[in-house]
């Protein structure tokens, strides 16, 4: 998903260093000082416009949340939501998820969310998928020993690929849902922007939970 450039996004991010971290490597191993507590930290990679991570932070004040996103415009849109709420347990990072091991210390993270990640359907694009083995290696490094990954998508091909990739990596599955919204799991589900869009079209939503 490429968003059209918004000239206000970069200045807005620069004006709000309390909410957006532009140099996450400087906080490696020190994220608890940023949140000023020792609560567990959960990261969404590719948060897009931020609806999910803002809702999660609102719903669970006893947990810390970080929304990480590559596109400056998307971070700007998510920041607008955070500026309305000013949630102390939410930070945003404008960076590439491929650098996760540079932003977080071993075991610093309690959970990772991958929501409606770009499918990169062509074979030559496999390495860009957020469930490709090089990404899984980094997730393994930064997650604590009880750490989990939750992955949701509307894309059956990416879901099938991710099951195989995670299985080949030796991950264990705690749950797999082929139609999340028709299952009891839907009760606690927090929707993302993409999730709402696709489920309104009648598409089933796939979900898995897994750990290393
Ligand atoms: C299809 S959108 C989904 C957005 C949101 N999670 C949702 O469900 O509404 C995927 C998002 O992931 C971001 N993204 C893709 N690859 C990324 C990476 N390597 N690091 C950080 N963000 C990434 C894209 O810029 C895009 O905003």
The whole-number pLDDT of residue 94 equals 96
Q: Which residues contact 99 (CB under 8 A, 6 or more apart)?
A: 24, 25
Is residue 47 a contact partner of residue 74, using CB atoms and an 8 Å limit?
yes
The preferred substitution site among 69, 136, 151 for testing ligand 1, maximizing ligand atoms within 8 Å of CB, is 69
Q: Which residues contact 106 (CB under 8 A, 6 or more apart)?
A: 141, 142
Helix (H, G, I), strand (E, B) or coil at 72: helix
The whole-number pLDDT of residue 3 equals 87
How many angstroms separate the alpha carbon of residue 96 from the centre of ligand 1? 10
44 is in an annotated binding site: yes
pTM: 0.97
How do residues 143-159 score in pLDDT, each as one tens digit? 999 999 999 999 999 99
Q: Is 107 left (phi over 0), alpha (psi -120 to 50) or beta?
A: left
Which residues are the active-site residues? 118
How do residues 173-193 score in pLDDT, each as one tens digit? 999 999 999 999 999 999 999
How do residues 41-73 score in pLDDT, each as one tens digit? 999 999 999 999 999 999 999 999 999 999 999
Helix (H, G, I), strand (E, B) or coil at 30: coil
**Running DSSP on this structure, what letter comes out for residue 197?**
H
The whole-number pLDDT of residue 142 equals 98
Any idea which residue has 């489920």 for tokens?
A: 199
The whole-number pLDDT of residue 196 equals 96
193 is in an annotated binding site: yes
Is residue 101 a contact partner of residue 138, using CB atoms and an 8 Å limit?
yes
Report the half-sphere exposure of 210 (CA within 13 A, side-chain side): 25
Domain boundaries, given as residue ranges, for the chain: 9-211
Q: Which atom of ligand 1 is nearest to the CA of 114?
A: 6
The preferred substitution site among 9, 21, 42, 46 for testing ligand 1, maximizing ligand atoms within 8 Å of CB, is 46
Check whether 207 has a pLDDT greater than 80: yes
CB contact burial 182-207 (16+ within 10 A = b; e otherwise) = eeeeeeebbbbbbbeebbeeeeebbb
CATH superfamily label, 9-211: Vaccinia Virus protein VP39 (3.40.50.150)
96 is in an annotated binding site: yes
The whole-number pLDDT of residue 4 equals 86
15 is in an annotated binding site: no
- pLDDT category, 2, cuts 50, 70, 90? confident
How many angstroms separate the alpha carbon of residue 101 from the centre of ligand 1? 18
How many angstroms separate the alpha carbon of residue 132 from the centre of ligand 1? 15
Dist. CA 146–CA 107, nearest whole Å: 9
Give residue 20's Cα distance to chain centre: 15
**Mean pLDDT for the chain overall:** 97
The whole-number pLDDT of residue 13 equals 97
The whole-number pLDDT of residue 99 equals 92
> Which residues line ligand 1 at a C-beta cut-off of 6 Å?
1, 45-48, 68-71, 74, 96-98, 115-118, 192-195
- pLDDT category, 133, cuts 50, 70, 90? very high
How many angstroms separate the alpha carbon of residue 118 from the centre of ligand 1? 6
Give the number of other Cβ atoms within 10 Å of residue 126's Cβ.
Answer: 14
């Amino acid at each position: 998903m490429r968003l059209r450039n918004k000239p206000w996004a970069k200045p807005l991010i620069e004006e709000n260093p309390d909410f957006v971290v532009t140099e996450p490597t400087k906080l490696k191993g020190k994220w608890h000082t940023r949140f000023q507590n020792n609560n567990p930290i959960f990261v969404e990679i590719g948060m897009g416009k931020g609806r999910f991570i803002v809702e999660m932070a609102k719903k669970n004040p006893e947990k810390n949340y970080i929304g990480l996103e590559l596109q400056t415009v998307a971070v700007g849109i998510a920041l607008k939501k955070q500026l309305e709420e000013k949630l102390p347990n939410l930070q945003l990072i404008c960076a590439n998820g491929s650098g996760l091991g540079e932003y977080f210390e071993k075991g610093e993270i309690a959970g990772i969310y991958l929501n409606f990640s770009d499918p990169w359907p062509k074979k030559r694009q496999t390495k860009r998928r957020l469930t490709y083995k090089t990404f899984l290696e980094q997730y393994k490094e930064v997650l604590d020993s009880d750490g989990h990954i939750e992955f949701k998508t509307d894309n059956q091909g990416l879901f099938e690929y991710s099951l195989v990739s995670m299985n080949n990596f030796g991950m264990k599955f705690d749950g797999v849902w082929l139609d999340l919204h028709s299952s009891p799991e839907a009760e606690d589900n927090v929707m993302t922007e993409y999730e709402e869009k696709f489920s309104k079209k009648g598409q089933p939503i796939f979900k898995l939970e897994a750990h290393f």
